[in-house]
Amino acid sequence: MTRKRIAIIEIIKFMADLNPINNRLLVKMDSRTEVTQGGIIVPEVSRTTETWGEVVAVGDKCEYLNKGDRVMITKLQGTHYTHEGEDFIVIDEPKIICKEYA
């Protein structure tokens, strides 16, 4: 098994142990590196307060969002934590700014 596949399996096991309650969501944050058109890497502290992520678990009272939805959130909301180098946030559904439609 490759190292990447093992890491994905570990994250899936980790998420299976977490079940958000009520209207809370577990969101896996995007780890994209922002680079300007001129090739300058933008440091984390200089970025805007909004960021994107993917909903990986949904509480039983969530009405509008489902697992797999891409959402925009404010970095200053919710409870942030890191597991195996991946950033996650637990956030209330009303705190979501918008949903991306493909």
Please report which helix (H) or strand (E) contains residue 83, including its range: strand 79-83
Q: For 54-96, how does the pLDDT look when each residue is reduced to its tens digit (9 = 90+)? A: 999 999 999 999 999 999 988 788 888 887 778 888 999 999 9
pLDDT of the residue at 54: 92
Q: For 22-58, how does the pLDDT look when each residue is reduced to its tens digit (9 = 90+)? A: 899 999 888 666 666 777 776 665 566 678 899 999 9
User: What's the fold here for domain 3-100?
Assistant: 10 Kd Chaperonin, Protein Cpn10; Chain O (2.30.33)
Phi, psi for 44 (deg, rounded to 5)? -55, -40
Alpha-carbon Rg for the chain in angstroms = 15
Cβ pair 55, 27 in contact under 8 A: yes
Q: Examine the pLDDT at 2 and tell me if it is beyond 70.
A: no
Q: Examine the pLDDT at 7 and tell me if it is beyond 60.
A: no
Q: Examine the pLDDT at 13 and tell me if it is beyond 60.
A: no
pTM above 0.75, yes or no: no
Cβ pair 52, 70 in contact under 8 A: yes
